[in-house]
Every structure is written in structure tokens, then in C-alpha cells.
Amino acid sequence: MEAMNMIRAKRRPAPRAPRRPPAVRQVDAAATAAVGSLGSTAPVPVAPPAVATEVPAPFNAAQLVHLGNALSRLSAKPATRFLEIYQEQLALAIPLLRQEECELVCPTLAMSQLMPDSLRRAFLDRCAQVGAGAPVTDELGGGAAPDIAAYQKEADRKRKRDKYFRNLYIIEASIRKETFSFFSSLPAEVRTYLDGLHAGASQITHEGTTMFSSQVAVVLDQLGMNCVTDQMCGPLGLHVVVKNLNPRAGGKDVVYECSDASAYYTRPDGDKTTEPQLTSWSKIRHRMLQRLGVELKHISIWEWQQMNDSQRVNYMVKLQSFE
């Protein structure tokens, strides 16, 4: 609501100053004298003033993206008036997005009501124009020692892109798997761009294991299971995968989804009985993996923390025995 008030204040028209007679410019006076000397009464054409391109205010493009990311990841339901103003501002910001700012857009924002089909279409078109999601490379290269300031700036840019560039691959997979009719209606050049992301998803590396998934993997190792923690499924990294060592027996790999505290919203202070809710990002992740054909076995951090070492072993034996 505070953001909406800031936008309203910026959009409010300023009071008009009293009208004054226009001052005669020297160029206009000279042109009038020249016309009079030629005996012509035709007016001298004057070029129209340049119209300034409207830009979002008071937030810039990156700030609007961060604002939308926060609202969508919190599963917020903003008021209708705020939604209208935000979408108006986002429509002005999308043509100004740079490569890094396009990659900042979280899948929860791209697939939420904050970005309807018209804005999502414009956003994907902008991503294709700036090449968002391209592989992160070292633009400084080797050779002579680079300038320190330029090197630090490029290293910071590379670090940020390493953190966020996979967002575009997840957005592409979500659009392809969940809204294929929308995907089919996109312009040919945008579909070609998305096909390039789809093909490049196999080159994405795993984000890394969490402490929770590492603990589960240790217990499975104690049980003699062959498990991996760096397997990918499209643009998403799987937490723990128990490999099937005998494919001829008709078995399949078992995928454990280790949902730690970051996968849930925080419970109210003092409330230890209410089951915490999954975040909007966790729901998108689970839905995406299901559409990609992965059957997940969910393990909650809240249940895991209440067990000692022997109970954890028995718990994993029970889960594994169902397969």
C-alpha cells in the first residue's frame, strides 16, 4: 500500500503555473523579418517539440521487478487498484529491461496475476531482444592484466547472473508445460528463443546440496543405497535420488524432496501446532517436477528434526520399503 501511495503521488499532476505570453525568440524574429522582406505572408513552419518517452515512476525497472518478486513469493493478494497501477508501471518498464534485469524476474512473478498474458508476452519478447538467459561467460578473457575496477565490475555482474540466470529456464519450462496454448500463440522469433533455452537447459549445473538433503543422503548411504545429490531434471535440481541398480527388475529411481525451512512460510510466533504452508515457489517447483514425470517422496524438516539418529534410519527404511 505504501508503494501504491508513492506511485499515486508521482502520478498526481502538478499545479499549473499562471500562463505568460510566450517570449519572442531571436530565430523566430529573424525568420519573420526575412519573410517580410520577401513580401510573403506565409508562416514559417516550426518543428514540433520532442515528446519525452514515458517511464515508470517513482520506481525504476529493477525496483518494480523486486517488488513483484516479493509480492508473488509471499502469495500476496494485492488490491485491484494496486494491481492496475503496478501493471501499468510494469508495462512502461518492460521495454527498458536489460539482460540482468530480465533474469531477475522470478518464476512466481512471471506466472502470477501480477503479469497477465499481455505483459508476459511483452516480457518474453524483451528477453529475446536482449538475449536473457545466455550462458555466463568471462568477457574480460585472458591476456594482459585487466583494469582492477573493470575486473571487479565484471566479476560482480557474473556473480549476479550466476545466481539468477536459471530463472529464465524455469519460466520457459513452466510456460511450455502449463500454458502450451499461450506458448503456441507467441511470435515465431520468441518461440525460437524459448526453444534455444529449452535446448540449453541440459547444460545447467546443480545449485548445490543443502544441509537437510546431505543428512538424508548420509542415512541412505548407511542403508547401502546408491544415492546422488547432483542430478538434474530439466532446469531444476533434484535433492536426493536413490538409483535403481537393477533396471531389468522393473524398478525405478526414487526421488526424495527434502523441504527445509526455506520451503515454508514462517509460522506465527508461539504457534507450534499449525502446519506451516509451502511457499509459492515450492508449489511451482513441485508442480513442475510432477509435469516433468518425476514422482516425489516428500520429507519435511519439521518431522525430521523431531527424530533422533536411529529413528531417522527406521523412517528411511519405511519410506524405501514402499518402493
Other CB atoms within 10 Å distance of the CB of residue 221:
11
Q: What is the model's pLDDT at position 86?
A: 92
Question: Rounded to whole angstroms, how far apart are CA atoms 232 and 204?
Answer: 8
Q: What is the model's pLDDT at position 24?
A: 55
Question: Rounded to whole angstroms, how far apart are CA atoms 257 and 216?
Answer: 10
Q: What is the model's pLDDT at position 15?
A: 62
Q: What is the model's pLDDT at position 153?
A: 72
Q: What is the model's pLDDT at position 10?
A: 73
Query: Residue 308 has which C-alpha cell?
Result: 533422533
Q: What is the model's pLDDT at position 52?
A: 44
Burial of 65 (0-12, 13-18, 19+ CB in 10 A): buried
Q: What is the model's pLDDT at position 275?
A: 75
Q: What is the model's pLDDT at position 165?
A: 83
Q: What is the model's pLDDT at position 26?
A: 55
Buried b (16+ CB within 10 A) or exposed e, 203-217: ebeeeebbebbebbb
Q: What is the model's pLDDT at position 93?
A: 94
Question: Rounded to whole angstroms, how far apart are CA atoms 323 and 315?
Answer: 14
Among 216, 242, 210, smallest CA distance to 228 is for 242
Q: What is the pTM of this model?
A: 0.78
Q: What is the model's pLDDT at position 57?
A: 72
Question: Is the Cα torsion angle 18, 20, 25, 31 positive or negative in sign?
Answer: positive
Q: Please report, in tens digits, the pLDDT of each residue of the chain (323 residues total).
A: 777 777 777 766 656 666 666 665 555 555 555 445 445 555 545 555 444 456 677 889 999 999 999 999 999 888 888 899 999 999 999 999 999 899 999 999 999 999 999 999 999 999 999 999 887 665 555 555 667 777 777 777 777 777 788 899 999 999 999 888 999 999 999 999 999 999 998 888 898 899 999 999 999 999 999 999 999 999 999 999 998 866 655 678 899 999 999 999 987 766 667 778 999 999 999 999 999 999 999 999 989 999 999 999 999 999 887 65
